[in-house]
Structure 1
Amino acid sequence: MATTTASIRLPVPPDRVWQLIGGFDTLPDWLPYIPTSELGEGGRIRRLTNDEGGVIVERLETFDDKARTYSYSILRAPFPVTGYLSTIAVHQDPDAAWSRVDWSGTFTPDGIADDEAIALFHTIYSDGLAALRRTLAP
């Protein structure tokens, strides 16, 4: 099993960040390469369409509004991994006006080396967090 985590500090209070990213259906609001998200099964399944038309289907596994975190698994995607579980969390930074966002994942590479799978998801997470920074920029 492989794992990776990307983090970012933002000059925004954690409640404001969570208001933007805490909904399981909010990726299109801050992630430009996911323009479409459709919820199913009472909000526990999301069907994402990327900017190239690819489809990713994910299941909400855990959600904690108070702790500002949720985890999800991939049911169907064009990624060369199995057993994917990801968590996104918004934390209070020591400076109360700032937040830290962590996006992490564990997965088993399928047909590629661990370091290739790690690089793939680390890039996705890092690019996503950079997009979050741009969305929240004043």
Structure 2
Amino acid sequence: MASTSVSRTVPATPQQVWNLIGGFDALPDWLPYIPRSTALEGGRVRRLTNPDGDVIIERLVDFNEAEHHYSYAILEAPFPVDGYVSTLRVHPVPGHDDIAEVQWSGRFNPKNATEQEVVDLFTTIYTDGLDALTKTLAA
């Protein structure tokens, strides 16, 4: 199983960040790659659409409001992986009330691709996503 993780400090309190990203159906609020999200099964599944019209279906597998994190599994996507589980987590930064650390990590099995290709793909997705989050929070 392969994995990757990307972290960023962002210009907002942990609660402000969580208020923006903590909703499982909230990706369009801060991630330009996902302009559309539809909640299914009472909010436990999300159907995402990217700008190319590709569909990504994900299931919420863990959610912790108090600790500011959730994990999800991909059920269907145009990515060369299976067994994908990812976690989005917001941490306080000791000594700094006005910034937070956001960590986006995932583990997965490459499928019809090398491990390095898939690690690079998700590292780029997480990096671009956290860069977009930083821009949204700074606006």
TM-score using structure 1 length:
0.98
| Helix, strand or coil at the partner of 1:12 | coil
Which is worse superposed, 117-126 or 88-97? 88-97
* Cα offset, 1:36, TM superposition: 0.3
- Percent identity over the alignment is 56
| Equivalent-residue separation in structure 2 for 1:11 and 1:39 (angstroms) | 28
- What is the number of residues matched between the two proteins? 138
Find the counterpart in structure 2 of residue 132 from structure 1.
133
| Helix, strand or coil at the partner of 1:82 | strand
| Equivalent-residue separation in structure 2 for 1:52 and 1:24 (angstroms) | 22
Q: Tell me whether 1:31 sits opposite 2:17 in the alignment.
A: no
* Cα offset, 1:11, TM superposition: 2.0
Which is worse superposed, 17-26 or 88-97? 88-97
| Equivalent-residue separation in structure 2 for 1:97 and 1:30 (angstroms) | 19
What pairs up with 1:81-120 in 2 under 5 angstroms?
A: 81-94=81-94, 95-120=96-121
* Cα offset, 1:96, TM superposition: 1.9
| Helix, strand or coil at the partner of 1:52 | coil
- What amino acid maps onto 2:85 in structure 1? L
| Equivalent-residue separation in structure 2 for 1:48 and 1:6 (angstroms) | 21
Could you give the per-residue CA deviations for residues 73-115 of structure 1, whole angstroms, max 9, x where no partner exists? 0000000000000000000011121100000000000011111
Find the counterpart in structure 2 of residue 70 from structure 1.
70
| Equivalent-residue separation in structure 1 for 2:29 and 2:57 (angstroms) | 18
RMSD over equivalenced CA pairs, Å: 0.6
| Equivalent-residue separation in structure 2 for 1:33 and 1:52 (angstroms) | 9
**Would you identify which runs of 4 or more consecutive aligned residues in structure 1 move more than 4 Å?**
none
| Helix, strand or coil at the partner of 1:97 | strand
Find the counterpart in structure 1 of residue 8 from structure 2.
8
Where does the alignment leave 5 or more consecutive residues of structure 1 unmatched? none
| Helix, strand or coil at the partner of 2:63 | strand
* Cα offset, 1:10, TM superposition: 1.0
Q: Tell me whether 1:52 sits opposite 2:80 in the alignment.
A: no
| Equivalent-residue separation in structure 2 for 1:11 and 1:107 (angstroms) | 30
| Equivalent-residue separation in structure 1 for 2:116 and 2:52 (angstroms) | 25
| Helix, strand or coil at the partner of 1:53 | coil
- What amino acid maps onto 1:66 in structure 2? A
| Equivalent-residue separation in structure 2 for 1:6 and 1:105 (angstroms) | 9
